[in-house]
Structure 1
Amino acid sequence: MNFVEYYNPQEIIKITEHRPNPLPDLPWVSTQRWEDVLFLHWPVSPDLLTPHLPQSLQLDLYDGTAWIGMVFFQVKGMRPRLLPAVPFISSYLQLNVRTYVTYKGRSGVYFFRLTVDSILACFLAKTWYSLPFMMAEIKMDSQGDDIHMVSKRKIGKFEERMSCSYTPEASVFHTQMNTLDHWLFERYCSWNMRQGTLLRIDIHHTKWNLQKAAAVIRSNTVTDFLTAKISQNNPIVHYSSAKQALFWPPVKERRF
């Protein structure tokens, strides 16, 4: 099995056999590389997530169960198409909280939280992609194979905090059809609402090169908006060393 990681957009755009949907007709507009990616996934009751979704989106379930994911990574080399990466803007840390949804038969992602540690990256992401990015204080430190991260964001008197360490433990693999891993990872678009309009953002990358991993979560209040302490349960943990992704501009699905 080929576990080569591709970084050249001209090569990546040609590899499409793993996608559940065709590539968009329009050209991609930006690219970025994700490094030291941590995935944490918890099974949750659909009743916990549905109230937090736009009514137009259908919560996607695996064997009747909803899943919430937390993804942490370092962004590097973010740049628009045909332009070079700009220092102080192109690299930053990011922490996302998401779940899995469908719209008119297409599967994708809905983000509850999108936090970064760069004011400029936050502004540009909001401007380019119309996604609700927010600022947070995020730190990352590597010691051998062990990676440590801390994210803090003040919301009034409340501090939204995530602190954990993670380590890849197994060999690299690709997800297989009809498995939970495949269901969680093979998604190539996200939706969000902006001023009453449902927007879809398409992305493309090669199939994830994943490893099973171990994580020690020291604190997690980022998912407390669900009113259930899901972090008390052990998550499924995955790691990926790197992934180059291509992004398309938001398209309007429907106005409400």
Structure 2
Amino acid sequence: MKEHTFVEEGSLREKRRLTTNLPWIMKQTWNDILFAHYPVPRKILRELVPKGLTLDTFYQTGWISIVPYLTSSMHLRGVPPVPGMANFAGFNVRTYVTLNGKPGIYFFGLTAANYLAAHFAKTFFRLPYFYMNMNHKKAKDLIVFESEKKSGMQLLCNYKSSSTPSLADRGSLEEWLVERYCLYTVSKKGMPLRADILHEPWLLEKAEAEFHQNTLLSNLNIVPDSEKPVLHYAKKAVVRIWPIVPVSE
């Protein structure tokens, strides 16, 4: 497949359009989210992303993002949140792909500090989910995120907001990075799969962060073009998630 180079595509409504008639199956809230975006040579990412997915780049530059956050109020459709399973810390490592004109996210790895949640997502969404002990807590205006070291992965960082919230500018790198409303993966046979994700447009804030330990990129043998990430913070997003389905032509 041809590699996609960024051009401003359609309206936000187009980017958020649903690609299935099925109802959503899960709802959750993401809280105190840090986006740490690193530019990465597209050649490196192309070797890591499955061939059935088209790598997305912003003016020929690839990007990979590390995103720690706290999940709360997670529940299946028609079922109230289950005590002990609804709230947990996690992070994901992701890059950006597109298929049939719909930009989305491809995950290299996701973690949850809840075994049942990680097992459910790994089984039903066919995602590389891992259970890991983590803490996500507030210390005055600072968010303290701490994970154990597991399978070569560890993330220890502090972060905070440093501005008021606003929508990303149309056509900006920020909009390109965060305004994506689906995830992609592939089946064991290489068939592209997609799950729609719907929430309000991101209200982003500038962020400051200090990384005490971060092995998430080196664990993937990725050396970014810059060790200094583009940082954003978001207070909250209420998210609905649809079933994962094969991508039709």
Letter in 2 for 1:110: Y
Match of 1:22? 17
Consecutive unaligned residues of structure 1, counting only runs of 5 or more, are 1-15
Q: CA deviation at 1:95?
A: 0.6
SS of the residue corresponding to residue 125 of structure 1 reads helix
Letter in 2 for 1:173: S
Which of residues 161, 164, 181 is equivalent to 2:174?
181
**CA–CA separation in structure 2 for the residues paired with 1:143 and 1:103:** 41
Which of residues 200, 204, 221 is equivalent to 2:194?
200
**CA–CA separation in structure 2 for the residues paired with 1:216 and 1:48:** 26
User: Identity across aligned pairs (percent)?
Assistant: 33
In structure 2, the CA distance between the partners of 1:243 and 1:21, relative to structure 1 (3 Å rule), is: closer
**CA–CA separation in structure 1 for the residues paired with 2:89 and 2:16:** 29
**CA–CA separation in structure 2 for the residues paired with 1:228 and 1:22:** 32
**CA–CA separation in structure 2 for the residues paired with 1:163 and 1:134:** 17
Which of residues 201, 210, 218 is equivalent to 1:216?
210
Cα contact 1:35–1:241 (8 A) shared by 2: yes
Which of residues 226, 232, 235 is equivalent to 1:241?
235
**Offset from partner CA, 1:190-211 (integer Å, 9 cap, x none):** 1112322321111100011110
**Offset from partner CA, 1:56-111 (integer Å, 9 cap, x none):** 11111101100001111111011111110001111111110000011122210000
Cα contact 2:90–2:110 (8 A) shared by 1: yes
**CA–CA separation in structure 2 for the residues paired with 1:204 and 1:28:** 9
Cα contact 1:49–1:226 (8 A) shared by 2: no
**CA–CA separation in structure 1 for the residues paired with 2:23 and 2:218:** 39
TM-score (norm 2): 0.89
TM-score (norm 1): 0.87
Consecutive unaligned residues of structure 2, counting only runs of 5 or more, are 1-10
Number of residues of Structure 1 aligned to a counterpart in Structure 2 = 236
Q: Does 1:190 align with 2:183?
A: yes
- Aligned-residue CA RMSD in angstroms? 1.8
Match of 1:116? 112
Cα contact 1:97–1:114 (8 A) shared by 2: yes
Q: CA deviation at 1:18?
A: 4.2
**CA–CA separation in structure 2 for the residues paired with 1:215 and 1:21:** 30
Q: CA deviation at 1:48?
A: 1.4
Cα contact 1:92–1:117 (8 A) shared by 2: yes
Q: Does 1:62 align with 2:58?
A: yes
Decide which moves more: 21-30 or 67-76: 21-30
Q: CA deviation at 1:19?
A: 4.8
Match of 1:150? 146
**CA–CA separation in structure 2 for the residues paired with 1:231 and 1:152:** 27
Match of 1:7? none
Match of 1:83? 79
